[in-house]
A = this chain, B = another copy of it.
Amino acid sequence: MSTPQAENITMSAGGRYSLATAGARDVIDGATKLVVRAIGEVPVAAVDGVFTMSDMGCADGGTSLGMVRTAIGAVRERFGRAAVKVVYADQPRNDFNALARIVHGLGGFDGYLEEFDGVFPLFSATSFYRAIVPPGGLHLGFSATAMHWLSGKPGDLAAHVHAVGAVGDEREKFAAQARADWQTILLRRAEELAPGGQLVLVVFCMDERGRYLGNTGGVNMFARFNALWRGFVEEGAVTEGEYRAMTLPQFYRTVEEFRAPFEGEGAAARAGLELLEMETRVVPCPFAADFKMHGDADKFATAYIPTLRTWSESVFYGALSTARAGGERRAIVDNFYRAYGDEVRNHPDGHAMDYVHAYMRIRKTR
Contact = CB atoms under 8 A, between A and B. Distances in A.
Interface of A: 1-3, 7, 49-50, 83, 85, 87, 92-97, 99-101, 103-106, 111, 113-114, 118, 120-126, 131-137
Among A103, A111, A123, max chain B CB count under 10 A is at A123
Contact of A122 (B83, B114, B122, B131): B122
A6 to B, nearest CB: 13
A333 to B, nearest CB: 21
Nearest to A127: B104
Name A's interface SS.
Answer: loop
B92 A100 contact: yes
Contact of A96 (B100, B106, B120, B133): B100
Contacts of A136: 49
Contact of A83 (B97, B99, B126, B135): B135
Contacts of A83: 134-135
Contacts of A100: 92, 94, 96, 123, 125
A122 B3 contact: no
A136 B248 CA distance: 45
B93 A1 contact: no
Contacts of A94: 100
A92 B107 CA distance: 10
Contacts of A124: 120-123
A131 B123 contact: no
A94 to B, nearest CB: 7
Given A83-B135, A87-B122, A122-B124, A1 B99 contact: no
Contact of A123 (B3, B7, B111, B123): B123
A100 to B, nearest CB: 4
A111 B1 contact: yes
A105 B49 contact: no
